[in-house]
Structure 1
Amino acid sequence: MCYFLGAMPLQCVSGIFVLYSLCLLSFSPHCDGGNILVYPVDGSHWINMKILLQELHTRGHNISVIRSSTSWYIPEESPLYTSITIEMDEDVEDFFDVFLQEHLRAQRDGTSLLTFFKLTKGFLSMIARAHLLWSDATNQILNNKTLVKSLKDSQYDLVLVDPAIAPGVVLAKHLKLPLVLNVRWITSGEGHFVLAPSPLSYIPVPGSGSTDNMSFFQRVKNMFFYSLVLFQEKFLVGPIYDAMCDKYIEGGCNIVSLLQEADIWLFRSDFVFDFPRPTMPNAVYIGGFQCKPAQPLPADLEDFVQSAGEHGVIIMSLGTLVNTLPKEVTEEIASVFAKMPQKVIWKHKGEQPSTLGNNTLIVDWMPQKDLLGHPQIKVFVAHGGTNGVQEAIYHGVPVLGIPLFFDQYDNLLRLQERGAAKIIHLADVNGDTFEEGIKEVLYKDSYRQNMHRLSRLHKDQPLAPMDKAVFWVEYVIRNKGAAQLRTGAYKMPWYSYHSLDVLLFLISSTTLIFFSIIVMVRYLCYRRRNTKPKQS
């Protein structure tokens, strides 16, 4: 027998390595290609879902995607999946665009209390309308016995759902299939609030604009925003799904209980980005799973970037939903860019600003991930969408944020609290404030240093986020669910969950014992007085 590698003949070494490799393969989890039904959400959410589907397809899984006939981004024909198209009575994008334009105009008018209530009313109305449209569309599936039979005959292993719109959650329950959520948002806000204990004393509600270190009045504000979440859940969105549950789920249900029955929650977040908080065993954090090392830029774009020399490049993008800012804002921003020694790449559609400088390249689309990974990029001017923020963290590029709506301010606030970003509200954007902000992020070293630190922390993981996501999807396929990871707390009445019945019992028992002792003492005293011998 050989004891030392240096003393081994070549054939012996080769044989041992072959044996070692076979052992590794035999102990690795095995999963044949699964059959996955996907119910996504359109827009920027689809960008995330598609990246996950590409990886699942690469690993041999068969995928079917439910899409609407008016889908913005989800094509009917794709090499990745087979599509199931349902008719939509109205294009969600139409009234969504109207909401966005009104929202931008209201922000420019100021941030008064009246503006806040106007924006909140418009947002809640739009959300309820979108849920109703999608629920009506999904009824087409559930009412079509032939299609339902086809779905059952397809023998899907699980349903993968983005629960920001939740008819897919009801469909999974109706088909009695395991459920995996690709999630950050659910029907009533951030997913953790129905998954895990969420003390409002240090967990900020999205929209509150608070961190995990709140003053008394910030906690009051946090409670107010949570009441809006409950209102949305109980009175706007909940009844829509309650009607679906009553009709299609035996015994009825509600959307929160269905979400809590999900086997795995793939959270598009991590604690480098988010504030620490309680969580659950079936929550898997895959923040930044879409991020990859930068690929080479197209030749013309690379030439433009390199022409910046030592000054570097600023890039600006407002994501997929907003093509342009109000005209007066774009004119101010363009004039500031024109004065900068840096080159600028600006994703902008619509009328070209009259103040545009020769150093600024306007594009309809940019390879954002590859640009952020280029060493010439100095600052990312962004709206604060989750994808862009996580890509900036991955590549270590500091951010000047102009939040527009939804969770964007909260996303940017997390970076600002860690010293990696600066926020300018849309109402405050003018030539002076924008120039001051861009120069601060460019020339103050702490922004880049702090973002580099976040990047190192994000990458310092035992397993890449995408590998975690795929592992847990395949885990559910292999084990036909993950019921052992779900807590039984969801099935407890609220008074039992908070131990109010136990507290009432203890208080009652203690009170009973206390009064029993008092009664006994008084009785003994009374007997003693009555049995005392009389003096003659």
Structure 2
Amino acid sequence: MRSFLLLFCLTTVYFIVDAAKILVYCPSISKSHVLLCAKYADLLHNASHDTVLFIPSYSSLLNDYDGAKHAKVWRLHNVTDAYDKKFDSFADVMENSHIGFIDRMTYDVDFWMDMCEDVVKQFDRLQPLIDYQFDLAIFNDIDPCNPAIVRSLNIPKTALLSRLPTLPSYVPSMEENPNHDRMSFFERMSNAYKYFQSIVVHYLQDRRVLHIFRKHISPDFPSITGIIRNVSLIMVNTDEIFDISRSYSPKFVYVGMIGAEKHANVTLSEDLDKIFSKGKLGSVFVSFGTVTPFRVLPKRIQSSIFNAIQKLPDYHFILKTVPGDTTTAEMFAGVPNVDFVNWVPQNTILKHEHLKLFVSHGGMNSVLETMYNGVPMVIMPVFTDQFRNGKNVERRGAGKMILRQTVTTETFYDVIHEVLKNNNYETAAKRISRMMKSRPFTPEERVTKWVNFILDHDTFDHFHLESNNLSFFEHNHLDVFFVFIVLPFVTYFVFRRVLKSSS
């Protein structure tokens, strides 16, 4: 008995010594975004770390949602009303047939700045985070203010939730870019242009954020680019089986599909099971996420989906709406093969044997969950990486993509009908599913082991990319190009001038 108590005490001391204080910093910009943060927080909590999910409230719709089941959750309410005000502008963005460079330099750059300044002006409310003396902070760079906020908390080590680097010769840029890795010459020209746009927009965002922090926090606050370059680890929310292959630093770790296995034996409620079991030939789930619910879609897109549902009576459609949306129900009054839901356990309904297709906006979480469960997709992307995700689904043969500016009355019917009738899409989706489920290492193993590794070691110098110290000209060999190509021509013409003048 005494030896058992001694072993118990030693084990307890071991866990206390090895446990770290970890902060997951996560503004509430969408439900799926908060849920993803909660998965990291719960995972690290269950790995014996003292983990805190900190949520500054941006969206009032998410004031009571945190998604965490185990980790501590700290909220900061009444931070800003700017996000709710800007949310209404999403409908205008959806209606635009094309978001040009000037639009991006105004809309994309300006969008986050009001929220950022509101948080920084109340920085004293973040003092408990500083006092807690965290060992590691995990954050994302969707909101360009996040890296600077976390830097201001004086946390020694950081992990970034982000994406792999873009190589414009064969990797599509993130911004409204419906390309894949097999691009023609003109597609590569377009991709290079969009990549240039991305560089300019992010530079302007970083300058605006830096101005806010140098004004309110410190006049010598470091650059945002420098903060991101010095993170200890970058966790990428995608899967190597699905994503485009490319070269990358050891700092980048694939961790997409956290928590997939725990949903394997979860069953739907009786009501939801009954809804998804309807339809002579199966059911179709339609959801464009919490940021762009059905009611904010342009009327022509709503009408196209309405037309498709009416023309496919042998399939039952489940359309995700938001609380208080009465206009969608009124639109579909009298249509028998449709039901409405405000929320579903998405990873669970994707396992439903009667589900034949998922119509989605192509968010990374939705795409990965759908591919993991072997369900074909129809994607109409709205923002950023959703275009590349949709094109990659096409590239893998697991579905089709629709560009919102091309949608007409028959568009959704034609594409949905094609994917449902052609078995090749389902075959490809199930093939990807089998590969994802048999990966050598689970995302949970990668997250916990890499986090423990960077907590135990100073990895900055070891994994630091020397390219971070190179200028734009050096990084792209433009200086070498000048010496070997341009300079000989200049020398030749100078030499000819000298010969002429001497003769």
Structure 2-normalised TM-score? 0.81
Where do 1:467-482 residues align within 5 Å? 467-479=445-457, 482=460
Amino acid at match of 1:180: A
- Which of the two has higher C-alpha Rg? 1
Q: 1:195-237 CA deviation, whole Å, 9 max, x = no partner?
A: xxx3x22222122322212222112111211221122123344
Q: Confirm whether residue 424 of structure 1 aligns to residue 402 of structure 2.
A: yes
Residue 361 of structure 1 corresponds to 339
Residue 55 of structure 1 corresponds to 43
Change (3 A) 1:467 1:134: farther
Give, in angstroms, the shift of residue 243 of structure 1.
5.0
Q: Is the partner of 1:192 in helix, strand or coil?
A: coil
Give, in angstroms, the shift of residue 428 of structure 1.
3.8
Alpha-carbon separation, structure 1, partners of 2:82 and 2:180: 36
Asked if structure 2 preserves the Cα contact closer than 8 Å seen for 1:313 and 1:343, the reply is: yes
Q: Is the partner of 1:275 in helix, strand or coil?
A: coil
Alpha-carbon separation, structure 1, partners of 2:129 and 2:385: 35
Give, in angstroms, the shift of residue 290 of structure 1.
4.5
Q: Is the partner of 1:381 in helix, strand or coil?
A: strand
Q: Is the partner of 1:410 in helix, strand or coil?
A: helix
Where do 1:147-162 residues align within 5 Å? 148=127, 150-162=128-140
Q: 1:464-522 CA deviation, whole Å, 9 max, x = no partner?
A: 112212222222223365542222331244455456777889999999xxxxxxxxxxx
Alpha-carbon separation, structure 2, partners of 1:214 and 1:498: 20
Question: Which of 34, 50, 75 pairs up with 1:46?
Answer: 34
Residue 517 of structure 1 corresponds to none
Residue 468 of structure 2 corresponds to 490
Alpha-carbon separation, structure 2, partners of 1:336 and 1:408: 22
Q: Confirm whether residue 340 of structure 1 aligns to residue 313 of structure 2.
A: yes
Percent same amino acid among aligned pairs?
23
Alpha-carbon separation, structure 2, partners of 1:147 and 1:432: 52
Q: 1:431-465 CA deviation, whole Å, 9 max, x = no partner?
A: 53322222211111110111111112222311111
Where do 1:46-445 residues align within 5 Å? 46-72=34-60, 73=62, 75=64, 80-83=71-74, 85=76, 87-98=78-89, 100-106=90-96, 111=97, 115-117=98-100, 121-140=102-121, 142=123, 144=124, 148=127, 150-174=128-152, 175-184=154-163, 192-193=165-166, 198=167, 200-206=168-174, 207-241=176-210, 243-244=212-213, 248=217, 252-292=221-261, 293-294=263-264, 295-308=266-279, 311-324=281-294, 325-338=297-310, 339-349=312-322, 350=325, 351=327, 352=329, 353-354=331-332, 356-445=334-423
Change (3 A) 1:228 1:332: closer
The worse-fitting range, judged by mean Cα deviation, of 245-254 and 294-303 is 245-254
Q: Is the partner of 1:64 in helix, strand or coil?
A: strand
Alpha-carbon separation, structure 1, partners of 2:178 and 2:448: 33
Point out where structure 2 has 5 or more consecutive residues left out of the alignment. Answer: 1-10, 490-503
Asked if structure 2 preserves the Cα contact closer than 8 Å seen for 1:242 and 1:255, the reply is: no
Change (3 A) 1:68 1:448: same
Alpha-carbon separation, structure 2, partners of 1:224 and 1:504: 22
Residue 34 of structure 1 corresponds to 20
Asked if structure 2 preserves the Cα contact closer than 8 Å seen for 1:246 and 1:253, the reply is: no
Q: 1:162-220 CA deviation, whole Å, 9 max, x = no partner?
A: 11124332244341510101223xxxxxx524xxxx3x222221223222122221121
Where do 1:2-21 residues align within 5 Å? none
Alpha-carbon separation, structure 1, partners of 2:392 and 2:399: 9
Alpha-carbon separation, structure 1, partners of 2:384 and 2:478: 36
Give, in angstroms, the shift of residue 357 of structure 1.
2.6
Alpha-carbon separation, structure 1, partners of 2:235 and 2:402: 31
The worse-fitting range, judged by mean Cα deviation, of 120-129 and 467-476 is 120-129
Alpha-carbon separation, structure 2, partners of 1:220 and 1:504: 21
Change (3 A) 1:347 1:494: closer
CA RMSD of aligned residues (A): 3.3
Change (3 A) 1:155 1:337: same
Structure 1-normalised TM-score? 0.77
Point out where structure 1 has 5 or more consecutive residues left out of the alignment. Answer: 1-24, 185-190, 512-536
Alpha-carbon separation, structure 2, partners of 1:507 and 1:344: 61
Asked if structure 1 preserves the Cα contact closer than 8 Å seen for 2:121 and 2:216, the reply is: no
Residue 442 of structure 2 corresponds to 464
The worse-fitting range, judged by mean Cα deviation, of 387-396 and 151-160 is 151-160
The worse-fitting range, judged by mean Cα deviation, of 336-345 and 441-450 is 336-345
Change (3 A) 1:482 1:466: farther
Alpha-carbon separation, structure 2, partners of 1:503 and 1:419: 39
Q: 1:276-334 CA deviation, whole Å, 9 max, x = no partner?
A: 1121101001122253444211112223333446x221111111112213345434423
Asked if structure 2 preserves the Cα contact closer than 8 Å seen for 1:88 and 1:133, the reply is: no
Alpha-carbon separation, structure 1, partners of 2:236 and 2:15: 23
